[in-house]
Amino acid sequence: MAWPTSNVDTTHMDAAGDDPSQARAEIKKMADNVNAIKDAKGQASGVAELDTGSKLPESQLPTVPATKGGTGQTTYTVGDILYASATGTLSKLAAGTNGYVLKSNGPGALPTWQIEGGGFPSGTRMSFQQTSAPTGWTKETNAAYNNVALRIVTGTVSSGGADDFTTVFGVSKTTAGHALLFDQTPYFIPGSTPGGSITSLFPDSRPVRTASTHSHGLTLDLKYRDFIIAHKD
Q: Calculate mean pLDDT across residues 29-54.
A: 70
For residue range 2-16, what is the model confidence (pLDDT) as tens digits?
566 677 777 777 666
Q: What is the 3-state secondary structure (H, E, C) of the chain?
A: CCCCCCCCCCHHHCCCCCCHHHHHHHHHHHHHHHHHHHHCCCECCCCCECCCCCCCCHHHCCCCCHHHCCCCCCCCCCCCEEEEEECCEEEEECCCCCCEEEECCCCCCCCEEEECCCCCCCCCEEEECCCCCCCCEEECCCHHHCCCCCCCCCCCCCCCCCCCHHHHCEEEEECCCECCEHHHCCCCCCCCCCCCCHHHHCCCCCCCECCCCECCEEEECCCCCCCEEEEEC
Higher pLDDT, 210 or 219: 219
pLDDT at 204: 45
How far, in Å, CA of 83 to CA of 172, rounded?
65
**How many other CB atoms are there within 10 angstroms of residue 111's CB atom?**
15
pLDDT tens for 169-206 read 877 778 877 777 766 665 555 555 555 544 455 544 44
pLDDT per position as a tens digit, 102-145? 988 899 999 999 877 657 788 899 999 999 999 889 999 999 99
Question: pTM score > 0.85 for this model?
Answer: no
